[in-house]
Amino acid sequence: MDRQYFIDFGTGAGNEGADTLEEAMEIAEEGLTYTLQPVTIYSDGAEVARLPWFGIDPEEDEIVTSRFGNHGYYGEWIFY
């Protein structure tokens, strides 16, 4: 059975599928690595969510999903 959601980690490998958007987001957050790329979730070929990468230190009021020292961080999910 095909999965409804496809998680693209921006690495060209290691991408995964999920049955629900919530599951896809959990898998994405558990699989975050220092790639310098956003993580994108697709459904039926269309982008439905993106976890943006910022190669700077976050501001004090920024939402940080995951931080990689002083090298950058993944911000807040964006939904389309």
pLDDT score for 52: 98
Sign of torsion, CA 9 14 20 22?
negative
DSSP 8-state symbol, 9: -
Question: pLDDT at position 1, please?
Answer: 55
- Nearest alpha-carbon partner for 29 in 19, 21, 20, 39: 39
Give the tens place of pLDDT for each residue, 17-31: 999 999 999 999 999
Section 3-8 average pLDDT: 94
Residue range 22-80, pLDDT digits in tens? 999 999 999 999 999 999 999 999 999 999 999 999 999 999 999 999 999 999 999 99
Ordered by start, the domain boundaries in the chain are 5-79
